[in-house]
Structure 1
Amino acid sequence: MQDSGNFVLYDKESNVIWESFDHPTDTILGGQRLTVNMMLISSVSATDRSSGRFYLVMQGDENLVAYPVNRTFTFTAYWASGTYKSIARPDVFLYLDPQKGQLGLRYPNTTGSILVSTISQIPNNGSTVVYRARLNPDGKFVLYSHSFGVSGDVADTVEVVDEWSSLDSLCQNKDYCGLNSYCSMNGSSGSCTCLPGFLPRSDVPGCYPGFTDEHSCQGKDTEVSYEMNVLEHIQWDDGRAYSIINVSLEDCYQSCLKDCNCWGALFGSGNCNKYRLPIMAAVLDPTNSITAFVKSISPGNSSWVPTKPKIVVERKKALALILGLSLGTFALICSLLAIISIFLYRCRAHGYRALSGTANQALNGEYTLRSFSYDELEKATDGFKEILGRNPYGAVYKGNLSEGNKNVAVKTLENVQEGESKFRTEMTAVGRTHHRNLVRLLGFCMEGSRKLLVYEFMSNGSLANFLFKVDNRPPWKERVRIALEVARGILYLHEECESRIIHCNIKPQNILLNDSWTAKISDFGLAKLLMNNQTGTFTGAKGTRGYMAPESENAMLITEKADIYSFGVVLLEIMCCKTMELDVQTGDKTLQFDWAYDCFSTNDLKKLVGDEDVDMKVLERMMKVGLLCLQDDPNLRPAMKNVILMLEGTMNIPEPLYQSN
């Protein structure tokens, strides 16, 4: 342990083999460097030192940026150093001067931008001052100074001073309070309050609806069940409005109340911005003049009157008696029919209730599945007219729900005997998930032998079409982004959802792209759900040859590592824009493992991408990760969390072993 706080391991020849300064957690000390793509990750709390909700990364564009975990898009950043350079230097690093306490950017031989230059007066009594910069659990990046007594003993600590903080107030952190809540500024701190009609979550910051909105877009008179809450001086993320209209304050109120898609609206300068759930980054700021409207359920308290009020008419006693006798006779006949059919019906009814119960559970506290009738879906698809795709178990059709004019994909089950379990598996697996890189299940239909699933519509088709059926290769940066998105979706299935899921059929045809080209994993018909204490399954795993791991074809234990293998195949295909099979029509030498490994081992990776202009360091990194994922031995394949870290360049990548596939 060095005086600087760096813990160093040496080999027998005194060569450094590992040092803690190269692997920061949430803190950097004096003399420590944070190089390009290195991160600080906040702790959960002051007592729980596991990885928390925020991270700080030294980006390649020389900007030091803080993000919420699992979000790397520019608009989700809540703080940046403002040192962006259009022509970046990859040798830039963040450095904390151990003597002066200056925090800034440096290069190997020169000084760059200084972030913090003014510090407290160093005492002149012979005491020692130590500096550290920490990403706190609340997301603040803070520079501290610790003054020790003349002896230098920790027990003689004189003072700990906050020399500088990245945020003046916690409310400047867009993700501090989570979803559907707002942050109230209180000096440098902030307090979180749920929006009206929402309840606090117990597991993470944020709030969930204290109501269900599954019927909000059904019928003409549903507004009688809602009310609008008026909140002054509250504003939230204004980049997510689905509608912006120029109206008065009162008309904005009425417009959101009547709009089944609107759950919040912001009015200012004559503009009314309307939003769906969830509401993000809401802040109470007395200095702004924004008026916010938040819709909530209020049975019987709305000022709106139904256009078709129900009228109860009192009937004569004689008529009531006749109706009573008729209904009694009808009930007796129905009872006899029920007794005759109860044995045949019992099994199906039990299965239906179990499946419907699973389907209608809330997803992540915010979403519920909707039960559709077959007639509704037949109408939505115009008689199942436009087919999007087909497999041995059924077909997928494009549809449009009249409520909100929303496009959907309707998946039908046609091969009942073989597809029944596939339908149940897919519904159970997807019904437990909610992640931006998984296709969202909206609802289902179960009427006798008719079984259908309703998914969000993915307008840009499959990754297979994106990679293999275009004249020009898709942009390199887009392919790298898509690879990371697929990896994050798999990580959620393996480690982050309520029940761990092995997808068992990862391939480009099952990765779909929405209108913003975000990659989403689909088709969970072959998925395996694992219990908390279960490491894998021996049940037969069917998949697509070429993407299946060796253990899947040899009746061995199937674990999450089977998906890692499939991802390795997809990753190589994303890099090369070639399928793993030989094109028998053209004779084109497409992606084959031996050829790919040969390109890697001979340091001739350019063969993989031809004359395309790509970042060769990123290409080499992706190639090594792909080959690691393709190891025959599941134990040699990395976990998906490590795959992501290696792809992002924050973890060293071991050399892959040669595999003869």
Structure 2
Amino acid sequence: MVAVKKFSGASKQGKKEFITEVKIISSLRHRNLVQLIGWCHEKEELLLVYEFMPNGSLDAHIFGKKTYLAWAVRCKISLGVASALLYLHEEWEQCIVHRDIKASNIMLDSSFNAKLGDFGLARLMDHEVGPQTTGLAGTFGYMAPEYISTGRASKESDVYNFGIVLVEIVTGKKSVSLRHGKIEPESSLVEKVWDLYGRGELISAVDQQMGKDYDVEQAECLMIVGLWCAHPDSNSRPSIKQAIQVLNFEAPLPNLPLKMPVATYHAAAETSSSSSSNGVATATFSSAQLGR
């Protein structure tokens, strides 16, 4: 049995995502990536054939409440996604920025091993190259503040996505609440969990479905690493390798501020203003301006 993904041949965006997926994922081989088996491009038919994932996507399990994910499974999924991201960022011949890491793009095989999929928005970069302007794409609630403002994708913005997913896995809650397609105010999961962290009540954020059937030390570790990865300041986030070391208890937990920092950074923009001697103006953005 296989899974078939169909793109709209009449859509420019559909064709672009089809070409991107074929170009990138056909060359990748990793146990935590969905394997592309084949593709078809005939007239307006654009099809990708993937290995079948019998347990569907992660979001159906942690949000849909159709099945119960045991604690050990949640930990395995978390480390599996981290392993996939390490491969994309540091272990393949080029750096791949996924740009859309979220629960619905994490597939689960028959043994509930995590497989990262959907590379339609991914971008190739040389390992030594910094953030690149790609145009805004992705899913609100997962996108890093600096990416929303500048459209510049980076390994750091992928790590931010990963941090959001970690917090979702432990809490069983979505990153934001939507109402009529819009993000509800004061609904940020990361802000709520960071507040609990600051008050010394972090463990109360664990999914109530778990009861007491989880490891407290592991739960705290997963959530603290999740907050670290989702730090509003991209320079304060870990690399995925550093995050994995902490998740494996090979490095100490980071010391995060008790209050969630405000995202403030400078974005360069071209300008003809005579007030700038080098032709570049800098604008400061805060998390409040970005709808956080």
TM-score over 0.5 (shorter chain)? yes
Q: Which residue of 2 aligns with 1:604?
A: 201
Matched, 1:445 2:40: yes
Aligned pairs for 1:72-471 within 5 A:
407-414=1-8, 415-470=10-65
Q: Which residue of 2 aligns with 1:649?
A: 249
Q: Which residue of 2 aligns with 1:629?
A: 229
Distance (Å, rounded) in 2 between the aligned partners of 1:490 and 1:594? 24
Distance (Å, rounded) in 1 between the aligned partners of 2:2 and 2:85? 23
Distance (Å, rounded) in 2 between the aligned partners of 1:584 and 1:418? 27
SS of the counterpart of 2:220?
helix
Q: Structure 2 stretches of 5 or more lacking a match?
A: 263-291
Greater per-residue helix proportion: 2
Distance (Å, rounded) in 1 between the aligned partners of 2:188 and 2:56? 22
Report how far residue 507 of structure 1 moved.
Answer: 0.2
Matched, 1:595 2:195: no
Given that 1:484 and 1:644 are in contact with CA atoms closer than 8 Å, whether structure 2 keeps it comes out as yes
Q: Which residue of 1 aligns with 2:131?
A: 536
Distance (Å, rounded) in 1 between the aligned partners of 2:212 and 2:30? 33
CA-to-aligned-CA distance 1:381-417 (integer Å, 9 cap, x gap): xxxxxxxxxxxxxxxxxxxxxxxxxx11111111432
Amino acid across the alignment from 1:411: K
Q: Which residue of 1 aligns with 2:239?
A: 639
Distance (Å, rounded) in 2 between the aligned partners of 1:448 and 1:583? 38
Q: Which residue of 2 aligns with 1:480?
A: 75
Report how far residue 602 of structure 1 moved.
Answer: 1.3
Amino acid across the alignment from 1:465: A
Given that 2:176 and 2:189 are in contact with CA atoms closer than 8 Å, whether structure 1 keeps it comes out as yes
Matched, 1:580 2:180: no
Normalised by the length of structure 2, the TM-score is 0.81
Structure 1 590/631 Cα, relative in aligned 2: closer, same or farther at 3 Å? closer
Amino acid across the alignment from 1:628: W
SS of the counterpart of 2:5?
strand
Given that 2:90 and 2:127 are in contact with CA atoms closer than 8 Å, whether structure 1 keeps it comes out as no
Matched, 1:659 2:257: no
Q: Which residue of 1 aligns with 2:87?
A: 492
Report how far residue 619 of structure 1 moved.
Answer: 1.4
Distance (Å, rounded) in 2 between the aligned partners of 1:459 and 1:472? 13
Report how far residue 535 of structure 1 moved.
Answer: 2.5
CA-to-aligned-CA distance 1:110-148 (integer Å, 9 cap, x gap): xxxxxxxxxxxxxxxxxxxxxxxxxxxxxxxxxxxxxxx
Q: Structure 1 stretches of 5 or more lacking a match?
A: 1-406
Distance (Å, rounded) in 2 between the aligned partners of 1:438 and 1:517? 13
SS of the counterpart of 2:153?
coil
Structure 1 594/533 Cα, relative in aligned 2: closer, same or farther at 3 Å? closer
Q: Which residue of 2 aligns with 1:291?
A: none
Structure 1 591/618 Cα, relative in aligned 2: closer, same or farther at 3 Å? farther
Amino acid across the alignment from 1:427: V
SS of the counterpart of 2:47?
strand
Distance (Å, rounded) in 2 between the aligned partners of 1:613 and 1:533? 43
Q: Of 100, 113, 121, which aligns to 1:526?
A: 121
Distance (Å, rounded) in 2 between the aligned partners of 1:597 and 1:473? 25
Distance (Å, rounded) in 2 between the aligned partners of 1:556 and 1:633? 16
Given that 1:600 and 1:623 are in contact with CA atoms closer than 8 Å, whether structure 2 keeps it comes out as no
Given that 2:78 and 2:166 are in contact with CA atoms closer than 8 Å, whether structure 1 keeps it comes out as yes
Aligned pairs for 1:55-66 within 5 A:
none
Report how far residue 578 of structure 1 moved.
Answer: 1.0
Structure 1 545/431 Cα, relative in aligned 2: closer, same or farther at 3 Å? same
Q: Of 157, 161, 164, which aligns to 1:569?
A: 164
SS of the counterpart of 2:89?
helix
Distance (Å, rounded) in 2 between the aligned partners of 1:472 and 1:447? 39
CA-to-aligned-CA distance 1:1-38 (integer Å, 9 cap, x gap): xxxxxxxxxxxxxxxxxxxxxxxxxxxxxxxxxxxxxx
SS of the counterpart of 2:135?
coil
Instruction: Provide the aligned C-alpha RMSD in A.
Output: 2.1
Structure 1 590/576 Cα, relative in aligned 2: closer, same or farther at 3 Å? farther
Please identify runs of 4+ aligned residues in structure 1 that moved more than 4 A.
none
Given that 1:500 and 1:530 are in contact with CA atoms closer than 8 Å, whether structure 2 keeps it comes out as yes
Amino acid across the alignment from 2:19: R
CA-to-aligned-CA distance 1:455-475 (integer Å, 9 cap, x gap): 101010000001111256421
Distance (Å, rounded) in 2 between the aligned partners of 1:545 and 1:600? 24
Matched, 1:505 2:100: yes
Structure 1 527/583 Cα, relative in aligned 2: closer, same or farther at 3 Å? closer
Q: Which residue of 2 aligns with 1:558?
A: 153
Q: Which residue of 2 aligns with 1:620?
A: 220
Structure 1 473/656 Cα, relative in aligned 2: closer, same or farther at 3 Å? farther
CA-to-aligned-CA distance 1:267-312 (integer Å, 9 cap, x gap): xxxxxxxxxxxxxxxxxxxxxxxxxxxxxxxxxxxxxxxxxxxxxx
Distance (Å, rounded) in 1 between the aligned partners of 2:217 and 2:243? 16
State the percentage of identical aligned residues: 38
Distance (Å, rounded) in 2 between the aligned partners of 1:506 and 1:562? 10
Q: Which residue of 1 aligns with 2:143?
A: 548
Report how far residue 607 of structure 1 moved.
Answer: 1.8
SS of the counterpart of 1:645?
helix
Report how far residue 624 of structure 1 moved.
Answer: 1.3
Report how far residue 519 of structure 1 moved.
Answer: 0.5
Report how far residue 605 of structure 1 moved.
Answer: 2.2
Distance (Å, rounded) in 2 between the aligned partners of 1:507 and 1:463? 9
Distance (Å, rounded) in 1 between the aligned partners of 2:67 and 2:179? 21
Distance (Å, rounded) in 2 between the aligned partners of 1:655 and 1:648? 17
Report how far residue 573 of structure 1 moved.
Answer: 0.2
CA-to-aligned-CA distance 1:616-643 (integer Å, 9 cap, x gap): 1111111211111111221111000111
Report how far residue 612 of structure 1 moved.
Answer: 3.5
CA-to-aligned-CA distance 1:391-445 (integer Å, 9 cap, x gap): xxxxxxxxxxxxxxxx111111114322111111111110121000000001111
Report how far residue 591 of structure 1 moved.
Answer: 6.3
Aligned length: 253
